[in-house]
């Protein structure tokens, strides 16, 4: 995928770091998908970290399975799972191979391919509600289990870094994660303060 003008293509080491640091550092940067409809995506505004150790909400907490095997690959790989028989969720694997940690992308600010996103989410009329939740995001971007295992450095799903954030970092709010029963006390959700496209403030 050809990067937009002025962005930075991350190196693998960006994703090989501590999961909580990656979850925070992704905020404000860009997530794009290239499909038949063209390029669609936007600015990441909300994430959650899922840790292997002492985190019962993490899919990898009970070890390697057929369902979660992508989580045990090296950082920078897309992990997509299907939940409640309804929603797909997009995660970015972090850390070295075998670690089993990932960042859930919970919300983006739509920037590119907005018309396609509206077609993918019929009935939605506002930009703020297009991709302000993990299930909404994957529907808007057309992401399914077929995208599981995509390499963010070479595939049709990419993360690009905004160089402007080196000087103007967004204010980040930390809170408990949403929609989980176990590990709900852990403060591993991060979002850009006062952003209208966040799922819940």
Q: What is the pLDDT of residue 16?
A: 98
Give the pLDDT of residue 196: 97
Please provide the size of the chain in residues. 201
Burial zone of 146 (CB within 10 Å; 0-12 exposed, 13-18 middle, 19+ buried):
exposed
Model confidence pLDDT, tens digit, residues 148-163? 999 999 999 999 999 9
Kindly indicate the confidence band of residue 173, based on its pLDDT and cuts at 50, 70 and 90.
very high
Neighbours of 183 (CB within 10 A): 17
Mean pLDDT of the chain: 94
As a whole number of Å, the end-to-end CA separation of the chain is 33
Give CA torsion, residues 65, 69, 74, 79, to 10 deg.
Answer: -130
Instruction: Please tell me the predicted confidence (pLDDT) of residue 83.
Output: 82
Domains of the chain: 12-192 (3.10.300.10)
| pLDDT tens digits, 115-150 | 999 999 999 999 999 999 999 999 999 999 999 999
6-53: per-residue pLDDT in tens?
A: 899 999 999 999 999 999 999 999 999 998 878 999 999 999 999 988
DSSP codes joined into one string, 90-111: EEEEESSTT--EEEEEEEEEEE
pLDDT at 85 over 80: no
pLDDT number for residue 76 = 98
CA dihedral 119, 80, 82, 72 (to 10 degrees): 180
Instruction: Fill in the DSSP letter of residue 162.
Output: -
Tokens of 171: 């204010």
pLDDT, residue 189, reads 97
pLDDT at 73 over 80: yes
The mean pLDDT of 173-180, rounded to a whole number, is 93
Q: What is the pLDDT of residue 155?
A: 96
CA distances from 186 to 70, 98, 110, 123, 175 (A): 24, 23, 28, 34, 8
């Amino acid at each position: 995928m050809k990067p937009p003008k002025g962005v930075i293509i991350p190196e693998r080491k960006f994703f090989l770091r501590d999961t909580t640091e990656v979850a925070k550092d992704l905020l404000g940067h860009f997530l794009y998908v290239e499909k038949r409809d063209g390029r669609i995506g936007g600015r990441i505004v909300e994430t959650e970290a899922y840790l292997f150790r002492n985190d019962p909400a993490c899919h990898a907490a009970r070890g390697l399975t057929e369902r979660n095997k992508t989580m045990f690959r090296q950082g920078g790989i897309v992990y997509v799972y299907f939940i409640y028989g309804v929603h797909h969720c997009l995660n970015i694997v972090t850390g070295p191979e075998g670690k089993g940690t990932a960042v859930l992308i919970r919300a983006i600010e739509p920037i590119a391919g907005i018309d396609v996103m509206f077609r993918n989410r019929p009935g939605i009329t506002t930009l703020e509600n297009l991709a302000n939740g993990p299930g909404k995001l994957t529907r808007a971007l057309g992401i399914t289990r077929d995208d599981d295992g995509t390499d963010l450095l070479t595939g049709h799903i990419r993360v690009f870094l905004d160089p402007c954030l080196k000087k103007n970092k967004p204010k980040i709010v930390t809170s408990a994660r949403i929609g989980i029963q176990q590990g709900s006390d852990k403060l591993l959700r991060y979002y850009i303060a006062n952003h209208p496209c966040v799922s819940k403030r």
